């Protein structure tokens, strides 16, 4: 089991630690509902240092990225980030990721913890263009400082004007007394804030200063359980739940980051699928009655016939009702469509809705 | 960890209070702490007669679903309907307002098979 540089800190804070993607990670501190609300209304900090970071450099860096990624990375300028995914050759997804353009001919790829080795091998296997690749994952930490008060609470820690960093933009600069930190206006919560990339040796100092600066804003540590309820309220996909090697990115609603302005892995087939429309679609739904949808539950029609499967589900702490994502045939995919979620013995009625479920 | 001495317990982390041939059942303080914020308690077996160890309901926390096992055979005569709107009572008062069901026992000799407070304490390493 791998640890992050902050594992002992989480233990001292009384966190419940669980194995996640090969790492011993804090799943909750005081309780998922309270932590969820902290991020929605104030500011909270996640240690997400399990995430992987690859640096791709050299004159052929962009060429490699364009080959393996679905989005068009040639649109990136220095200081901008882009959501993308790695298609496989059989219509599915190797992983989803964020690409940062650090400098000319230098890109940082941030990938899911559980896929670090798989992604590294996959991208390496496509690297016949001579790009330089480095896996920074073991040496770098990542803190997500999220919530509507994040900007104000963290401003004293940096000389950069945090309110000027737009969504999916970043700066490299000073933060909490450390130089060359990536301050990125990204996150997985829908409540705004930053992600801070730094070296493992620097993260404890940053963590401590973040809590000092945020104290008067009620800043709290947040676990992975709340990270999941927060992302699900936004309708964001989680790799391994909603998307995987066997799910179509077009069906999953990732058409917006699938750019046919260039060739990439499986792009011909994906283009055809996008033109014809996918057979199934990933939709968001809310339960009309009491109950909580869960990963793996069947979605059934009015006659009890199975039409799909729930890929993520939870009780929404903000909406106080059962919400979920799942794949259904395209004819059931429009907002307002009535479906049912099979929860134990009961087919509980649900309505397809447009995501995000939660609107700030 | 609160483990009242006068109650009986099971290895499934339920507590049982016996009054004649009626048992009141809930989950322990340890169980509610492990589950985290409880958001739903589903019991659809009221008026049914079930055997010991059969599933009588489900308790759902934000991230988990757990079956509830009947600690003693009998008829489920009551569900604590206050939990429909306030399932969080299981967290805040697991041995009081957070009780879940009452059972009319069909075999009171099964009570001897339940754990004492001390035995339960040992089980969870408290």
Q: Quick one: pLDDT at residue A195?
A: 98
Which band of pLDDT confidence, cut at 50, 70 and 90, is reported for residue B126?
confident
Write out the binding residues of A for substrate. 195
Sign of CA dihedral A320, A294, A35, A194: negative
* Residue A260: partners with Cβ closer than 8 Å, 6 or more residues away: A267, A270, A271, A274
Smallest CA–CA distance, residue A172 to chain B, in Å, is 36
Which band of pLDDT confidence, cut at 50, 70 and 90, is reported for residue B115?
very high
ipTM: 0.85
R_g (Cα) of chain A, nearest Å: 20
Sign of CA dihedral A152, A157, A160, A165: negative
Q: Which one-letter DSSP state was computed for residue A279?
A: S
Q: Phi first, then psi: what are they for B41, rounded to 5°?
A: -120, 120
Q: Phi first, then psi: what are they for A156, rounded to 5°?
A: -70, -10
Smallest CA–CA distance, residue A33 to chain B, in Å, is 7
CB contact under 8 A, A290 and B40: yes
d(CA A152, CA A113): 30
Q: Quick one: pLDDT at residue B100?
A: 98
Q: Tokens 């900090």 belong to which residue?
A: A45
Smallest CA–CA distance, residue A298 to chain B, in Å, is 16
CB contact under 8 A, A315 and B60: yes
What stretches in chain A show pLDDT beneath 70?
none
Longest CA pairwise span in chain A (Å): 62
Beta partners for B40? B60
Is 3.30.420.40 the CATH number for A7-49+138-233? Answer: no
Residues of B in contact with A228 (CB under 8 A): 63
Q: Quick one: pLDDT at residue B1?
A: 84
Q: Quick one: pLDDT at residue A132?
A: 98
Q: Quick one: pLDDT at residue B63?
A: 84
CB neighbours of residue B85 within 10 Å: 9
Domain-wise residue ranges, chain A: 7-49+138-233, 280-353
Task: Show which residues on chain A lie within 8 Å of chain B, measured between beta carbons.
Answer: 27-28, 31-34, 225, 228-229, 290-292, 294, 314-315, 317, 344-346
User: Is 90 exceeded by the pLDDT of residue B59?
Assistant: yes
User: Is 90 exceeded by the pLDDT of residue B77?
Assistant: yes
Residues of B in contact with A32 (CB under 8 A): 36-37, 61-63
**Cα–Cα distances in Å, from B44 out to A286, A346, B52?**
22, 10, 17
Three-state secondary-structure class, residue A114 = helix
Same fold, A7-49+138-233 and A280-353: no
**CATH class, B8-108 region:** mainly beta
Residue A198's Cβ-count burial label (10 Å; 0-12, 13-18, 19+) is: buried
In this prediction, residues B9-34 reach a mean pLDDT of: 97
Q: How far is CA A85 from the centre of its chain?
A: 11
Tokens of A166: 């737009």
Percentage of residues of chain B with pLDDT beyond 70:
100
Nearest in space to A81 (alpha carbons), one of A166, A16, A15: A166
d(CA A69, CA A259): 9
Three-state secondary-structure class, residue A164 = helix
Per residue, what are the HEC states of B95-124? CCCCCCEEEEECCHHHHHHCECHHHHHHHH
Q: How many CB pairs below 8 Å do chains A and B form together?
A: 38
Q: Which fold has domain A280-353?
A: Elongation Factor Tu (Ef-tu); domain 3 (2.40.30)
């Amino acid at each position: 089991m791998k640890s992050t540089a902050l594992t002992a800190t989480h233990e001292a804070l009384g966190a419940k630690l669980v194995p996640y993607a090969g790492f011993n990670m804090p799943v909750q501190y005081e309780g998922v509902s309270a932590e969820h609300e902290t991020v929605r209304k104030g500011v909270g900090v996640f240690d997400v240092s399990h995430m992987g970071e690859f640096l791709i450099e050299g004159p052929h860096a962009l060429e490699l990225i364009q080959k393996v990624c679905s989005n068009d990375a040639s649109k990136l300028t220095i200081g901008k980030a882009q959501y993308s995914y790695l298609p496989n050759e059989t219509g599915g997804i190797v992983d989803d990721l964020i690409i940062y353009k650090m400098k000319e001919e230098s890109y940082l790829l941030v990938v899911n913890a559980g896929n670090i080795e798989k992604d590294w091998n996959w991208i390496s296997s496509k690297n016949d263009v001579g790009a330089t690749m480095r896996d920074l994952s073991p040496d770098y930490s990542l803190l997500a400082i999220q919530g509507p008060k994040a900007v104000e609470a963290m401003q004293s820690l940096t000389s950069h004007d945090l309110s000027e960093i737009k969504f999916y933009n970043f700066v490299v600069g000073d933060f909490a007394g450390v130089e060359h930190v990536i301050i990125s206006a990204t996150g997985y919560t829908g409540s705004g804030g930053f992600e801070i990339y730094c070296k493992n040796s620097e993260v404890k100092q940053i963590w401590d200063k973040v809590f000092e600066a945020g104290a008067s804003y009620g800043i709290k540590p947040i676990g992975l359980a709340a990270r999941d309820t927060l992302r699900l309220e936004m309708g964001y996909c989680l790799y391994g739940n909603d998307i995987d090697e066997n799910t179509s990115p077009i069906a999953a609603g990732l058409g917006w980051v699938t750019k046919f302005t260039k060739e990439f892995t499986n792009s011909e087939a994906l283009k055809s699928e996008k033109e014809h429309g996918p057979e199934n679609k990933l939709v968001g739904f809310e339960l009309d009655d009491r109950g909580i949808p869960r990963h793996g539950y069947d979605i059934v029609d009015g006659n009890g016939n199975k039409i799909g499967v729930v890929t993520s589900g939870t009780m929404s702490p903000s909406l106080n009702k059962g919400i979920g994502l799942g794949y259904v045939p395209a004819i059931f995919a429009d907002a307002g469509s009535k479906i049912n979620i099979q929860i134990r013995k009961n087919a509980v009625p649900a309505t397809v809705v447009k995501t995000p479920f939660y609107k700030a | 960890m609160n483990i009242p001495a006068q109650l009986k317990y099971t290895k499934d982390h339920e507590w049982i209070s016996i009054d004649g041939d009626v048992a009141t059942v809930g989950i322990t303080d340890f169980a509610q702490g492990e589950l985290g914020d409880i958001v739903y308690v589903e019991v659809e077996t009221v008026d049914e007669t079930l055997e010991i160890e059969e599933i009588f309901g489900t308790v759902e926390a934000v991230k988990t679903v757990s079956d509830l096992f009947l600690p003693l055979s009998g008829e489920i005569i009551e569900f604590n309907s206050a939990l429909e709107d306030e399932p969080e009572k299981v967290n805040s008062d697991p041995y009081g307002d957070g009780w879940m069901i009452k059972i009319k026992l069909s075999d009171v000799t099964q009570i001897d098979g339940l754990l004492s407070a001390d035995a339960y304490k040992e089980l969870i390493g408290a």
